[in-house]
Chain A
Amino acid sequence: MSVLLLSLALGLGAAPPQAPGQPLVLQADGVLTADGTLLEDASVLLREDLVLAVGTSVPVPRNARTRRVHGILAPGLVDAFSQAGLADAAVEPARRRTPELRAADSLDPDAELWEQALAAGVGAVHLTPRPARLFSGWTALARPGAGGPVLLRPRARPVVSLGSLAFDRVLGPTALAGLLDDFEREAGALAAWRETGVLVVVDSAEAIQAALARAREQDVELAFVCLGDWPGYAGALPAGSRVCLPVLEPGAWPARQIEGWRLLHGRGLRIAFGTFGSRAWAPGALRDTALAFSRATGDPAAALAAVTTEAAAFAGSPRAGAIAPGRRADLVLWTAHPLDASARVQAVLSGGRSVPVAPPPADLLEMPGEPE
Chain B
Amino acid sequence: MQIRQPAVPRAPRLRAAASLLAVPVLLAFAGARPLRAQEGPGAVLIEADAAWIEPGSVIEPAWILVRDGRQVWVGRRPPQEARNARRVRWEGTVAPALVDAWSGLLPADLAAARDSRPYLAVRDALPADLPGADPELAARARAQRAAGVSAVWLGLPRSGLHRGRGTAAVLGAADLPVAAGREALEFQLGGRSDVSGKRLADAERFAALLEQALDYRDQREELPEKLEKYAQDLEDWKKKLEEYAGRKKELEEKGDSEGLKKLKEPQRPARPQPPARNPWFEQVLRGLDGELAFRVEANDLYDLRRLLEIREEHDLELVVVGGREADLLAEELAEAEVPVVLPVAANALPPAQEGRSLVERYRRLVEAGVEVALASGGSGTGAGLLLIRAGELVAGGADPEAVWASLTTIPARLLGLEEGHGRLGRGRAGDLLLFQGRSPFDASRPFRVHTATQGWKP
Contacts and interface: CB of A to CB of B under 8 A. Distances in A.
Interface of A: 38, 250-255, 258, 284, 288, 290-292, 294-296, 298, 300, 303-304, 335-344, 361-363
A292 B348 CA distance: 19
B443 A250 contact: no
Contacts of A253: 143, 147, 345, 376, 379, 381-385
26 contacts: A38-B444, A251-B382, A252-B345, A252-B379, A252-B381, A252-B382, A253-B345, A253-B376, A253-B379, A254-B381, A255-B139, A284-B392, A291-B388, A292-B385, A295-B443, A300-B445, A304-B444, A337-B437, A341-B392, A341-B443, A342-B392, A342-B394, A342-B442, A343-B391, A343-B395, A344-B396
A336 B384 contact: no
Interface in B407-447: 437-439, 441-447
Contact of A361 (B347, B389, B396, B437): B396
A245 B392 CA distance: 23
Contacts, number: 104
B350 to A, nearest CB: 14
Contacts of B390: 341
B444 A361 contact: no
B447 A295 contact: yes
B415 to A, nearest CB: 21
Given A298-B446, A300-B444, A342-B441, 10 more contacts: A253-B147, A253-B379, A253-B385, A255-B381, A258-B384, A339-B444, A341-B441, A342-B400, A344-B396, A363-B397
Contacts of B443: 290-292, 294-295, 300, 303, 339-341
A120 to B, nearest CB: 11
Max chain A C-beta neighbours (<10 A), residue from B345, B347, B396, B443: B443
A52 B140 CA distance: 48
B323 interface: no
A344 B392 CA distance: 8
Candidate in A38, A304, A361, A363 with the most chain B CB atoms within 10 angstroms: A361
Contact of B391 (A254, A342, A362, A363): A342
A255 B395 contact: no
A40 to B, nearest CB: 13
Contact of A292 (B140, B384, B397): B384
A36 to B, nearest CB: 9
A362 B395 CA distance: 12
Contacts of B387: 295, 341
Interface of B: 139-140, 143, 147, 344-348, 376-377, 379, 381-385, 387-392, 394-397, 400, 437-439, 441-447
Given A252-B345, A255-B140, A295-B447, A340 B381 contact: no
Given A335-B395, A340-B391, A343-B395, A255 B442 contact: no
Contacts of A255: 139-140, 143, 381
Contacts of B385: 251, 253, 292
Contacts of B437: 337, 340
Given A251-B348, A343-B395, A336 B388 contact: no
A341 B446 contact: no
Given A252-B345, A252-B381, A253-B385, A340 B442 contact: yes
Nearest to B142: A255
A342 B377 CA distance: 21
Nearest to A293: B443
Nearest first, the 3 closest Cβ-Cβ pairs linking A and B are A341-B391, A339-B444, A342-B394
Q: Chain B at the A interface: mostly helix, strand, loop or mixed?
A: loop
A340 B389 CA distance: 11
B384 A295 contact: yes
Contacts of A295: 147, 384, 387, 443, 447
Contacts of B447: 295, 298
A342 B395 contact: yes
Contacts of A344: 395-396
A340 B382 contact: no
A340 B387 CA distance: 10
B171 to A, nearest CB: 15
Nearest to B393: A342
B402 to A, nearest CB: 13
Given A250-B348, A252-B382, A298-B446, A336 B397 contact: no
Contacts of A294: 443-444
B290 to A, nearest CB: 35
B394 to A, nearest CB: 4
A284 B384 CA distance: 16
A62 B415 CA distance: 64
A258 B384 CA distance: 10
Contacts of B379: 251-253
Contacts of B400: 342
Contacts of A296: 384
Nearest to B148: A295
A110 to B, nearest CB: 16
A253 B143 CA distance: 10
A38 B442 CA distance: 14
B62 to A, nearest CB: 22
Given A253-B384, A295-B384, A298-B446, A340 B345 contact: no
A253 B105 CA distance: 13
Contacts of A342: 391-392, 394-395, 400, 438-439, 441-442
A290 B388 CA distance: 11
A84 B347 CA distance: 23
B150 to A, nearest CB: 17
Contacts of A300: 443-445
A282 B441 CA distance: 20
A288 B388 contact: yes
Contacts of B346: 251
A231 B438 CA distance: 33
A251 to B, nearest CB: 4
Nearest to B143: A255
Contact of A251 (B377, B383, B396, B446): B377
A347 to B, nearest CB: 15
A296 B382 CA distance: 13
Contacts of A304: 444
A303 B376 CA distance: 23
A295 B231 CA distance: 73
Contacts of A337: 437, 442, 444-445
A204 B247 CA distance: 100
B71 to A, nearest CB: 24
A74 to B, nearest CB: 10
Of B379, B383, B395, B397, most A-chain CB atoms within 10 Å: B395
B393 to A, nearest CB: 8
A137 B442 CA distance: 40
A304 B447 CA distance: 16
Contacts of B439: 340, 342
Nearest to A38: B444
